[in-house]
Amino acid sequence: MNHFDYINHTLHVEDVAIEKIAAEIGTPFYIYSTKTLLRHYQVFSDAMKKNGLDALICYAVKANPNLSVIKTLANVGCGADVVSEGELRKALAAGVPANKIVFSGVGKSHDEIKYAIEKNIHEINVESYGELEVISQIAVNMNKQVEIAIRLNPDVDAGTHEKISTGKKENKFGIDMEMAGQIYAKAANLPGIKPVSVAVHIGSQLTSLEPCRKAFSKLAETITALQGQGIKLKRLDLGGGIGIPYDKNDTIPPSPDEYAKVIKETVGHLNLPIMLEPGRMIVGNAGMMITKVIVQKNGLDRKFIILDAAMNDLIRPTLYNGHHEIIPIKQTNADTQYITADIVGPICESGDIFAKGRKIPILNIGDIVAFGSAGAYGASMSSTYNSRRLIPEILVDGNKFAIIRKRQTYEELLALDKIAAWLQ
């Protein structure tokens, strides 16, 4: 069921008309649907259960770190995968229990490690021998025992955009899988840490499960070898990465059920509880970005539709050539006429482009359009480039909506800077 739908010819999120919110708070803004968020979590979690998998689902906070989004998921039992102290603090503030939080990331600062240990989180995923030693030292100083996973790099091509592919040898992530025996033996001898798990994450927006099958099979072999070496593992972490449809003409990415089956087939025989770190799959299609037409410019060669949102608000199109559907909030009909135009933002660089040569209904100044699939890596990757203010985020639940991040004010924007004393 789709919770972004036209009711009386105007686009709604659940029972709330987008135009009503736009009139109240102005554009641009992000808007999320609680029912969609919960449905995605439920479908994912049910798929694991149905396939007999004992899985702790740790939502990848980086996809959308708004406290209300995290809390919506925490309330139904979801854990969190965090990659910085900021994300860890957010997960805790949103009510995720510490024993459901995993701290991933290729480089954690000493302060971040200390904070994570102090909070007794479930596990820290380690990506280098250097980091193992640092965690061991910090844990010993704090008189603690920390459960860790070592992230292994299976050297598998995830078949996704090069900037979000993480499981090949040339990527900075994890430790070469061939070195697992060596590194676990070392870890087992370090005080303060207990290597209890193995982690992999091969990339994001995966549209085929074959790379997962390869990576998880390699992982299963490695785990068997580690167990033969006397390493006792309590669980394994299979990361995130399941893709979502961005374009209605795309082939549909694998379903959670198909994903669960691949997990069962590759690592099921190990009989270890698993952890999963989905981000985009949960929140990507639970959100839209809403923006207004500032002006249309008709050049000799091309038409440009200039919106009030820009690459600082949604960077995916220019950074990864990401496709987002762009639809008017007023429903089209058989009489609607279309043009082909470049859809751009007002920022002063040519990269500030959302879509090239897109067929779109004719729009007038002030018309509002919605960008689909913008719930993941939209607001979370936004910036204030061109000294533009961070835009609001709205959460809808049925006929209720709440501003879950307000529009930054110009005072707040200016207050971030200080004029050096000698310039005063």
Contact criterion met (CB below 8 Å) for 127 and 106: yes
Say whether residue 164 binds ligand LLP (CB under 6 A): yes
C-alpha closest to that of 137 among 186, 194, 196, 193: 193
As given in the structure block, the two tokens for residue 391 are 């835009």
Quote the CA–CA distance of 153 and 176 in Å, as a whole number: 5
Contact residue for ligand LLP among 239, 287, 328, 372 (CB under 6 A): 239
Q: Which of residues 20-59 bind ligand LLP (CB under 6 A)?
A: none
- Identify the DSSP state of 376: S
Contact criterion met (CB below 8 Å) for 223 and 186: no
**Residue 42: how many other CB atoms lie within 10 Å:** 12
Contact residue for ligand LLP among 3, 90, 122, 280 (CB under 6 A): 280
**Shortest approach of ligand LLP to residue 41 CB, angstroms?**
13
Q: Is 348 a catalytic residue?
A: yes
3-state DSSP assignment of residue 220: helix
Contact residue for ligand LLP among 279, 317, 328, 375 (CB under 6 A): 279
**Shortest approach of ligand LLP to residue 260 CB, angstroms?**
15
Contact residue for ligand LLP among 87, 277, 308, 397 (CB under 6 A): 277
Return the number of the residue (108 or 201) whose C-beta is nearest ligand LLP: 201
Contact criterion met (CB below 8 Å) for 353 and 316: no
> Could you tell me the sign of the dihedral formed by the alpha carbons of 164, 169, 175, 177, in that order?
positive
Contact residue for ligand LLP among 278, 287, 375, 392 (CB under 6 A): 278
Q: Which of residues 332-371 bind ligand LLP (CB under 6 A)?
A: none
Quote the CA–CA distance of 337 and 254 in Å, as a whole number: 35
**Shortest approach of ligand LLP to residue 381 CB, angstroms?**
6
In the stretch 374-403, what mask flags binding to ligand LLP with x, by CB under 6 A? --xx---x----------------------
**Shortest approach of ligand LLP to residue 343 CB, angstroms?**
18
3-state DSSP assignment of residue 327: strand
**Shortest approach of ligand LLP to residue 57 CB, angstroms?**
11
Say whether residue 260 binds ligand LLP (CB under 6 A): no
Say whether residue 129 binds ligand LLP (CB under 6 A): no
Say whether residue 259 binds ligand LLP (CB under 6 A): no
Query: Which helix H or strand E contains 397, and what residues bound it?
Result: strand 393-397
**Shortest approach of ligand LLP to residue 38 CB, angstroms?**
17
Say whether residue 80 binds ligand LLP (CB under 6 A): no
Say whether residue 204 binds ligand LLP (CB under 6 A): yes
Return the number of the residue (212 or 306) whose C-beta is nearest ligand LLP: 212
Enumerate residues 6+ apart whose C-beta is below 8 A from 205. 160, 161, 164, 241, 243, 244, 280
Contact residue for ligand LLP among 66, 104, 291, 318 (CB under 6 A): 104
- Identify the DSSP state of 144: -
Enumerate residues 6+ apart whose C-beta is below 8 A from 137. 192
Enumerate residues 6+ apart whose C-beta is below 8 A from 116. 85, 88, 103, 108, 124
Quote the CA–CA distance of 405 and 391 in Å, as a whole number: 8
Q: Evaluate the omega torsion of the peptide bond into residue 245 and state whether it is cis, within 30 degrees of 0.
A: no
- Identify the DSSP state of 390: P
Query: Which helix H or strand E contains 123, and what residues bound it?
Result: strand 123-126
Say whether residue 63 binds ligand LLP (CB under 6 A): yes
Q: Count residues contacting ligand LLP (CB under 6 A)?
A: 22
**Shortest approach of ligand LLP to residue 373 CB, angstroms?**
10
Return the number of the residue (353 or 381) whose C-beta is nearest ligand LLP: 381
Rg of the chain over all Cα atoms, to the nearest angstrom: 23
Say whether residue 174 binds ligand LLP (CB under 6 A): no
**Shortest approach of ligand LLP to residue 173 CB, angstroms?**
8
State the catalytic residue, choosing from 58, 78, 212, 348: 348
User: Annotated active-site positions, please?
Assistant: 348
Q: Where along the sequence are the contacts to ligand LLP (CB under 6 A)?
A: 60, 63, 81, 104, 164, 201, 204-205, 239-242, 277-281, 316, 320, 376-377, 381
